[in-house]
Amino acid sequence: MERIRDFFREYPSQEKVALLLLSHGIRIEGPIAYCGDIALSDTAIGRAAGVDRRVVRTTIDKIRESPELMAIYSKLRSILLLSEVAPEIGCTTLEIIPTDASIPGILWDVTAVIFRAGVSVRQAVVDDPGFRNDAHLIVVVDGNLPPEFIPELKECRGVDRVIIR
């Protein structure tokens, strides 16, 4: 993600747009930005980024002119995150806050505990520690994790805190 920041470093408003597109998985196809199959207007993106629509157009055009950036932005996809609707679908969300998100094996250890508890994972999402300062792991499980396994989660390598929602 530093390459993207470096590309737009001299243009803070365009950098803001480029990072917004990236963080929401909005892809560039031709002159149009898409979220899934839904075309987004420059005005709507500008409103979300807090910039004028012309800044959005300039940013998209700059992305289109760069093969390196198009290699990224043409392949982005947004995904459904179940954590917000977990209670409505009979699931529980476990939010794992790492001591250091770059430590290998955090996901492995956490899912091993969930497996031993006999609970199914519906979704696991790891934020990129290189992109966000507050990277964390979100795991949505079927039903509830038995309480006796919570201390085990807290003892997993690289885990600072566990939030259960």
SS3 91: strand
pLDDT in tens, 108-149: 999 999 999 999 999 999 976 555 567 899 999 999 999 999
Count the Cβ atoms, other than its own, within 10 Å of residue 94.
24
CATH topology for the 82-164 domain: Alpha-Beta Plaits (3.30.70)
Q: Where are the beta strands (DSSP E) in the chain?
A: 27-29, 32-35, 38-40, 91-98, 121-126, 137-142, 159-164
Tokens for 21, please give them: 């597109």
Average pLDDT, the chain: 95
Give, as one character, the DSSP assignment of residue 127: -
Residue among 61, 60, 42 at smallest CA distance from 51: 42
Whether the full predicted model's pTM is greater than 0.95, yes or no, is: no
The CA distances from residue 32 to 11, 60, 73, 75, 148, in Å, are: 21, 8, 11, 13, 50
Count the Cβ atoms, other than its own, within 10 Å of residue 11.
15
Low-confidence ranges of the chain (pLDDT < 50): none
| Total residue length of the chain | 165
Judge: domain 2-73, CATH 1.10.10.
Answer: yes
Pairwise CA distance, residues 87 & 71, whole Å? 38
Domain locations along the chain: 2-73, 82-164
Residue among 5, 24, 21 at smallest CA distance from 61: 21
